[in-house]
Chains A and B, each alone.
Chain A
Amino acid sequence: MELIEMEEIKKDYFLGETVVHALRGVDLTIDKGEFVAIWGPSGSGKTTLLNLIGTIDEASSGQLFIKGEEVKKLSDDRRTEFRNRSIGFIFQGFNLIPVLSALENVMLPLEIMGTSFSNTRKTALKRLDEVGLSDFVKHLPDKLSGGQRQRVAIARALVTNPSLVIADEPTANLDSETSHKIIELMRDLNEKEETTFIFSTHDQRLLDQVERLVRLEDGRILNGGSEK
Chain B
Amino acid sequence: MIKWIKIALRNILKNKRRSFVTLIAIAMGFAAVSLFQGYIHNTYEGLRQSAVRGEGLGHLTIYKQGWLEKGKIDPDKYMFSQEELKRISDLVEEDEDVILATPQINISGLVSNGRTSTIFLANGVIPRDDKTIKGAWAAFRPVKGEGLSEKKPYGVEMGEDLASHLDLKPGGYGVIMATTLDGQMNALDIEVAGIYDTGSSATNDKYMRVPFGFAQSLYDTEKADRVVVLLNDWKKTEATRERLEDTLSGVGIVCEIKTWNELSLFYLKVRGMFDMIFMFIFFIVFIIVIMSVVNTMGMAVLERTREIGTLRALGLKRRGVSLLFAVEGAMLGFLGTVFGIVLNVIVWAVIRAAGPTYIPPGSSSPVPLIVNLVPQSMFFLMLFLILLSLMAAILPARRAARQNVVDALGHV
Check: B409 CB closer than 8 A to any chain A CB: yes
Check: A100 CB closer than 8 A to any chain B CB: yes
- Against A, the Cβ 8 Å flags (1 = close, 0 = not) of B305-342 are 01101111111111010000000000000000000000
Checking B3, B11, B406 against A56 with a beta-carbon cut-off of 8 angstroms, the contacting residue is: B406
Checking A77, A80, A91 against B310 with a beta-carbon cut-off of 8 angstroms, the contacting residue is: A91
Is B3 within 8 A of A111, CB to CB?
yes
Check: B14 CB closer than 8 A to any chain A CB: yes
Is A81 within 8 A of B315, CB to CB?
yes
Check: B187 CB closer than 8 A to any chain A CB: no
Is A99 within 8 A of B406, CB to CB?
no
Chain B: minimal CB distance from A90 (Å): 11
Chain B: minimal CB distance from A62 (Å): 17
With contacts A91-B310, A95-B306 taken as known, whether A80 is within 8 angstroms of B406 at the C-beta atoms is: no
Check: B165 CB closer than 8 A to any chain A CB: no
Bound Cα distance A120, B314 (Å): 15
Chain B: minimal CB distance from A83 (Å): 5
Checking B7, B311, B316, B409 against A91 with a beta-carbon cut-off of 8 angstroms, the contacting residue is: B409
Nearest-CB residue, chain B, relative to A120: B3
Is B7 within 8 A of A84, CB to CB?
no
With contacts A95-B310, A97-B7, A111-B3 taken as known, whether A80 is within 8 angstroms of B316 at the C-beta atoms is: yes
Residues of chain A lying within 8 A (CB to CB) of residue B320:
112
Checking A80, A97, A108 against B317 with a beta-carbon cut-off of 8 angstroms, the contacting residue is: A80
- Number of chain A residues whose Cβ lies closer than 8 Å to a Cβ of chain B: 26
Dominant SS at the B interface?
helix
Nearest-CB residue, chain B, relative to A94: B310
Pick from B309, B318, B320, B405 the residue with the most CB of A within 10 Å. Answer: B405
Checking A76, A83, A104 against B314 with a beta-carbon cut-off of 8 angstroms, the contacting residue is: A83
Nearest-CB residue, chain B, relative to A108: B314
Could you write out 27 A-B pairs with CB less than 8 Å apart? A57-B404, A57-B405, A57-B406, A76-B318, A77-B317, A77-B318, A80-B316, A80-B317, A81-B315, A84-B314, A84-B316, A85-B315, A89-B313, A93-B306, A95-B306, A95-B307, A95-B309, A99-B7, A99-B10, A99-B11, A100-B7, A100-B10, A104-B3, A108-B3, A108-B314, A112-B314, A112-B315
- Number of chain B residues whose Cβ lies closer than 8 Å to a Cβ of chain A: 23
Bound Cα distance A125, B11 (Å): 24
A-side residues, CB < 8 A to B, are 51, 54, 56-57, 76-77, 80-81, 83-85, 89, 91, 93, 95, 97-100, 104, 108-109, 111-113, 156
Residues of chain A lying within 8 A (CB to CB) of residue B307:
95, 97-98
Bound Cα distance A100, B409 (Å): 18
Is B405 within 8 A of A56, CB to CB?
yes
Bound Cα distance A93, B14 (Å): 21
Is B310 within 8 A of A97, CB to CB?
yes
Chain B: minimal CB distance from A168 (Å): 9
Is A54 within 8 A of B316, CB to CB?
no
Is B315 within 8 A of A113, CB to CB?
yes
Residues of chain A lying within 8 A (CB to CB) of residue B316:
80, 84, 112
Chain B: minimal CB distance from A67 (Å): 15
Pick from B6, B11, B310, B316 the residue with the most CB of A within 10 Å. Answer: B310
Interface residues of B in 1-54 (CB under 8 A from A): 3, 6-7, 10-11, 14
